[in-house]
Structure 1
Amino acid sequence: MEQQLKPLALGLAAAIVSAIIMGLLGILGNLGIYTGAVEMMRQWHMFFSLTLTGIIAGMIEAAIISFIFAYLFGIFYNKFV
């Protein structure tokens, strides 16, 4: 029997993981840990900063981007495999 990915489940899982990681990065950045990674996130993500609203906006942005890429990956994977 052929196995297929569930694109929606894959997208939601990626979005949740990305949002959690971005939130942890914001918290650790405020503690002075992983400052190099925080600086990279500031450069790569339009809305991310170390303020509370910046962390939440970065989490939302990361979740949306991750959902889109993982969802599309699931669709293309199922189509070509």
Structure 2
Amino acid sequence: MSTTTNATNRAESSPGPIRELNPIALASAGAIVAAAVMVLLGVFGAVGVYEGAVRMMEQWHLFFEPTVVGTVAGVIEAVIITFVFTYSVAWLYNVFAQR
């Protein structure tokens, strides 16, 4: 039975300082952050705080409004956009890091 850990196996399988990004993990983390920011802006908009930032989000996001339905729609929109964008960035990084 082997006593090596997963961290040891990952370190040994990497040829040098360049490591491969996990696109799903990075995209998921970015989507969670985007969802949290949209919820905060929805709450801030409902209470009347940071109205400038709320107005900007209303301009930039098609479905966002400082209401419950608008916040949920904005969260869904932000999660999808952020997931696709960060997944693409991680994928491109992995393509260029292999060269």
Short-chain TM bin: over 0.9
The alignment's TM-score, normalised by the length of structure 1, stands at: 0.96
- Mapping for residues 1-80 of structure 1, pairs under 5 Å: 1=14, 2-80=18-96
> Any stretches of 5+ residues in structure 1 without a counterpart?
none
Aligned sequence identity (%): 51
The Cα shift of 1:60 comes to: 0.6
The Cα shift of 1:3 comes to: 1.0
Runs of 4+ in 1 over 4 A off after TM superposition: none
Tell me the alpha carbon deviations over residues 11-36 of structure 1, each in whole angstroms, 9 at most, x when there is no partner.
01100110011001110111111100
> Any stretches of 5+ residues in structure 2 without a counterpart?
1-13
Inter-partner Cα distance in structure 1 for 2:75 and 2:50:
17
The alignment's TM-score, normalised by the length of structure 2, stands at: 0.79
Q: Which has the higher contact order (CA 8 A, sep 6+)?
A: 1
C-alpha RMSD over aligned residues: 0.7
The Cα shift of 1:43 comes to: 0.4
Q: Which letter does structure 2 place at the counterpart of 1:24? A: L
Q: Is the 8 A contact 2:41 2:66 kept in 1?
A: no
Q: Secondary structure at the match of 1:78?
A: helix
Between Structure 1 and Structure 2, how many residues are aligned? 81
